Amino acid sequence: MNEWKDLSRGALLAGLAALVEGVARPLPESPVRAAALAAVEAVWGWLDAPERPETEAPTLAQAQAMASSRLYRAHVPGLLSLTSTVARSSREYAAIGATYQILCFVVLQIDAAEGAWCPGKPNVLPSDVVEANWDSLEEGLSWCRKAAVDPATERVRQQELVQALAADFPNARQPLGAVPRRADLAL
């Protein structure tokens, strides 16, 4: 688990997006699959063109319009509304858990990058994001394993991915750091 802390923020977010995508793609066509993949696309969209705040002291309204807040509002409520539509024991339910936990962690990381670029940014994120931490990430990775066709193979995939990223994208203590190309993360 601690290996994830050693990545650049960009590599961390890219790796997590790849993991969610890897468990969502094999799901049957459904609203759950669509919601998970839409969230993944939004994260990749931000990684491809991170929005740097234009002011160091944004207003509350400006902070609410930033990418972290928009990403949360655009994906989390709809994702959570799907929990009542699938069986708790299903891979789809696990995919919701994986996407939700990882997305909250990703939103927190994007918020941290925005805060580094914009030190006066007020906190506008809900408590489920503000309370996200490395344990939340581990829970999200566990949900990914439950959502996978083969949980043991998913565990190996997670380990291989983080090791590969750590070799090429170490944490540079920058707001975003280096971001791997999406095509390079297909395992």
DSSP string, the chain: -GGGGGB-HHHHHHHHHHHHHHHHTTSPSSHHHHHHHHHHHHHHHHHHS----S-SS--HHHHHTSHHHHHHHHHHHHHHHGGGGS-TTSHHHHHHHHHHHHHHHHHHHHHHHHHHH-TTPPP---HHHHT--HHHHHHHHHHHHHHSSSHHHHHHHHHHHHHHHHHHSB--SSSS-----GGGG--
pTM of the model: 0.90
pLDDT in tens, 24-44: 999 999 999 999 999 999 999
Residue pLDDT, tens place only, 84-108: 999 999 999 999 999 999 999 999 9
Question: Is pLDDT above 80 for 183?
Answer: no
Per-residue pLDDT at 72: 95
pLDDT at 77 over 90: yes
